[in-house]
Amino acid sequence: MCITIMILALLIIPIYLLYTIVSNNMNNGSLDGHSNAVCIGILLVFTLAFSAMMSLFTRAKRHEVLGAAAA
């Protein structure tokens, strides 16, 4: 149950962060370059953390972890 909560948090928290960044930094319908870099960094960090959690705490094989991260 603890692993499930952690994996769900790793999927939900970045959505909230990205929504907050986009809603606070919208300038004339587009984001500035810094905000785009922060968004990509958030996606990268949380995707890597999700993959690490799946690899370390489940018996999933490499291709299953890759499929879960891609989904």
* Residue 14 predicted with pLDDT over 80: yes
Average pLDDT score over residue span 45-60: 91
Convert the pLDDT of each residue in 15-43 to its tens digit.
Answer: 999 998 888 877 666 777 788 889 999 99
pLDDT of residue 45: 95
pLDDT > 90 fraction of the chain, expressed in percent and rounded? 45
pLDDT of residue 67: 93
pLDDT of residue 34: 82
The 8-class DSSP code of residue 28 comes to: T
pTM greater than 0.85: no
